[in-house]
Structure 1
Amino acid sequence: MSSKSINIFIFLLFLLRLASSDRTSDCSNRWIYIRPLPSRFNFDLLSNCSAYPLFDDFCSYLPNHGLGPKTHNHSLSWYRTDPILLEQFFHRRILEYPCLTQDPTLANAIYLPYYTALDALKYLYGPEVNSSNQHGLELYNFLRKDVPHIWDRHAGHDHFLVISRPAWDFSQPFTNDPPVWGTSFLELAEFYNVTSLIPEGRAWGWQEQAVPYPTSYHPSNSVVLGSWLKRVRNSRRNSLMLFAGGGGVAATPNIRRSIRNECEGYFSKVCEIVDCSNGICEHDPIKYIKPMLQANFCLQPPGDTPTRRSTFDGILAGCIPVFFEEQSAKSQYDWHLPQHIYDEFSVFIPKEDVVFKGLKIVDVLMSMPKYKVRRMREKVIELMPRIIYRRHDSTLPMKNIKDAVDIAIEGTLHRIQSRLKSVSVQ
């Protein structure tokens, strides 16, 4: 589908949603205006899906508005989802939001449908690698010149966007000469007031709020979701713990190496490893979901960055997460996984105790009473709907069930409201 056809489809869907929003009972303090952007900032970037061989070709994962192709023809909810397309399917989902307005002066928040991570590819892997400090300036210039009062009203404090790669990829200091890895998008003073919804934020990032990595599961209605919840609850957990991932083979001591060394000393009933090296699991959920359904605990060590998609895959399978540093989740996803309940659904083992003090992970987990493990799993299952991204255009409403997009929008509105209040009193 061409970018022009996509734009026509989006416009028609937008009008339909506006008509339905007129019947919404209460949209006070919830109005969102979708800022129209030229297609070069979003849909045109999808047509470059094979332009950066060093990154990989993601063309085959564009179907279903970025959810990807179904894992098999008769699948009701499983897709081969590529995380970098979170920007695309979040955009599609927000078009269904019931409180959209065409008047930006009435909006409580302004959504920028800018595919930030896709636009970054030309700086990370393409010909503009030496100009990575320019990432985002073209968008800023457009916002200031095209209907400038929308931006000027609150200097961007009421704007938000979605970024589908970790913040570290957009945090290159301007002082780096020559440039190293990443762009400087999040370092731009021009966008400092804009809320960025991102899979992994920095501990000190003013503008970032972490949202869950997308899994491959996107239920279309509450019946499908209920069926999956039942399967997860009734699944037989034959192994104590599982690690799905790569790494841990280097000689340097680290938590992944410690996990592999420990697991190799036990039978599979105690510890199982699903080798996902070189991204072989990323688009094939059957490789890891079935083993996760059979494990009590899923080990979630940090890698190149603290967080990982596997955390949410494990929760989706009802597998109790085991974290080794707080930045892996607790200090990140407080909208979707509130900090005060982490002890109710997860286990924390400091990585230093494992790597340098000889603490055995299996000893910690086996010492936990069975009743506590059952209670933790029930909490994981209770939280599961909060971390999934349901399919767009659901045939049956999810009723009172809030998914990752619903919670992200709700959190963003509260965040912007708080920001505007603090700015107004200064």
Structure 2
Amino acid sequence: MPPPLLTATFLILFLLTTTTTTTTSQESDPESDCTNKWIHIRYLPSQFNLDLLLNCSQYPLFDNFCSYLTNHGLGQKTHNNSHSWYRTDPFMLELIFHRRMLEYPCLTPDPNLADAIYIPYFAGLDSLNYLFGPQVNSSFLHGLDLYHYLVHLDTPSIWQKNFGHDHFLVMARSAWDFIQPLSNDPPIFGTSFLELPEFYNVTALTFEARAYPWQERAIPYPTSFHPPNLAFLDSWVNRVRKSRRSALMLFAAGGGISANPNIRRSIRLECENSTSMSMNGTGYDKLCEFVDCSNGICEHDPIRFMKPMLQASFCLQPPGDTPTRRSTFDGIIAGCIPVFFEELTAKKQYGWHMPEEKYKEFSVFIPKEDVVFKGLRILDVLMSIPRGEVRRMRENVIEMIPRIMYRKHGSSLGLRSKKDAFDIAVEGTLQRIKSRLEELTAQ
């Protein structure tokens, strides 16, 4: 039996939108310029998407994610009167992206007319079987059923036209979770999806890419902010712009308690010691604010960290288990200038959404080795930045908010005029596929 949250109505609506939108959206906006933008959504059996939602409570080593499926993956509202804020789980991006694809203005039911083919496979959710479920020792199988269906069971000519070079999908986890070598015996954590030669040609949109990716491109983690219209976006941006920044810097995270030298430990120690420092002439009430997010207590409670972020000039974004952090995008939503300690945290990741050449205009970079091993104080670096420069950087951060947020599905026409994280990801994917097909043709 499915959990109560997944009612029959929800499932019927999900199925209807999945199966019918591709035949109608081509007629929904006839004046759209869809040259080089046509996308075809491949039909997949429910085992590759819908059935994975029905299993939302069946992974004992992973959080029960049933409550995060509401609002097509945005999760429950933070409170009943909220219009833009949700308890969004980042791992639900596959649902969020799929729902937005269904209202993409340039869908075509004819794969032969398409410039790109979207695979509506919930890859990250399916990986739970191999990461935490009964197939943990069969991680090399992840994706093989999908490949067999795409290539042999469902209109093989769609795949054979470009052998997957025109296909793309979303994988709502770090790429590191999908690159276990096929030769590992016994297997370690992760699946081998991106190591399968069968999928080498497919573009995978992940939260985090490897340093030299071939298949994957990183796109922003979803935050909890999903405005439905331009008025709510503008209202939030005005609040961010007017917010008094009473703390110089903020660190919202867990970890840093190990005795071994590492950047998180250095940050926590510096934050604790800052309370005894003189703040004369700094203009701040506090030099460092620490929000303890240990044990995942902040993940679905944006109020816990968004208010402090609104009151800080700089948000520290050190790497954790992997280089990237959702907090980077939470901070930008709050107008908090990101401070990076490793280029793989963002600069080498999100080129479509945050161009690499622009980083000096909206962020600060401090090498983690200088902090951990050379005694460089983060506070000294940040306090040395002129106030005028801080204001300019914050304004650049605020201007980025629409680019890194995922607006709510079914949003107003006015808000659709501003490109959000989804729009930019689709544009980047189309351009990437076009370039690769041109290279193949030239060979």
TM bracket, shorter-chain basis: over 0.9
Q: Could you say what secondary structure the match of 1:311 adopts?
A: helix
Give the match for residue 167 of structure 2.
159
Please say if residues 220 and 396 of structure 1, whose CA atoms lie closer than 8 Å, have aligned partners that are also in contact: no
Which residue of 1 is the match for residue 123 of structure 2? 116
What CA distance in whole angstroms lies between the structure 1 residues aligned with 2:202 and 2:392? Answer: 39
Match of 2:146 in 1: 139
Matched residue SS, 2:43: coil
Q: For residue 278 of structure 2, what is the aligned residue in structure 1? A: none
Q: Is the 8 A contact 2:362 2:396 kept in 1?
A: yes
Choose the corresponding residue for 2:331, options 280, 297, 314: 314
Report the secondary structure of 2:173's partner residue: coil
Instruction: Indicate conservation of the 8 Å contact 1:24/1:99, yes or no.
Output: no
Q: 2:52 aligns with which of 45, 49, 63?
A: 45
| Corresponding residue SS for 1:264 | helix
Deviation, 1:425, is 1.4
State the match for 1:214 in structure 2.
222
SS of the aligned residue for 1:197 comes to strand
- The aligned counterpart of 1:36 is 43
Q: Is the contact between residue 40 and residue 111 of structure 2 (CA under 8 Å) also seen in structure 1?
A: yes
Contact (CA 8 Å) 2:226, 2:405: kept in 1 or not? yes
Distance 1:360 1:366 in 2: 10
**Cα deviation per residue 1:61-100 (whole Å; 9 max; x = unaligned)?**
1100000010000001000001111000100001111100
TM-score by length of 2: 0.94
- 1:166-185 CA-partner distances (Å, limit 9, x unpaired): 01110100111000100000
Amino acid paired to 1:189: P
Matched, 1:54 2:71: no
Return the alpha-carbon distance in structure 2 between the equivalents of residues 226 and 412 of structure 1: 28
What is the aligned-residue identity percentage? 66
The answer for the alignment partner of 1:351 in structure 2 is 368
Q: Which deviations, in whole Å up to 9, do the C-alpha atoms of 1:85-143 show, x marking residues without a partner?
A: 10001000011111000100000000000000000001111111111000000000000
Say which of 107, 111, 130 aligns to 2:137: 130
Q: Secondary structure at the match of 1:305?
A: coil
Find the partner of 1:106 among 94, 113, 122: 113
**Which piece of structure 1 moves more, 144-153 or 2-11?**
2-11
Structure 2 match to 1:256: 264
What corresponds to 1:244 in structure 2?
Answer: 252
Question: Larger deviation: 404-413 or 25-34?
Answer: 25-34
- Structure 2 gaps of 5+ residues are 1-6, 276-284
Cα distance, 1:5 vs structure 2: 4.5
Which residue number in structure 1 is paired with residue 4 of structure 2? Answer: none
Contact 2:22 2:40 in 1 (8 A): no
Letter in 1 for 2:145: E
Letter in 1 for 2:315: C
1:362 to 379, 385, 397: 379
Unaligned runs of 5+ in 1: none
Equivalences for 1:78-117 in 2 at 5 Å?
78-117=85-124
Once residues 194 and 9 of structure 1 are traced to their aligned partners in structure 2, the CA distance between those partners, rounded to angstroms, is 25
**Cα separation, 1, equivalents of 2:289 and 2:12:** 49
CA distance in 2, matches of 1:211, 1:282: 19
State the Cα deviation string for residues 302-326 of structure 1 (Å, max 9, x = none).
0000000000000000000000000
Q: Distance in 2 between matches of 1:25 and 1:291?
A: 42
**1:171 matched to 2:179:** yes
Question: Could you say what the CA RMSD is over the residues aligned between the two structures, in angstroms?
Answer: 1.1
Superposition deviation, residue 18 in structure 1: 2.7
Amino acid aligned to 2:207: P
Q: How big is the shift at 1:252?
A: 0.7
SS in 1 for 2:169: strand
Structure 2 distance, partners of 1:24, 1:10, is 24
Q: Matched residue of 2:34: which SS?
A: coil
The number of aligned residues is 425
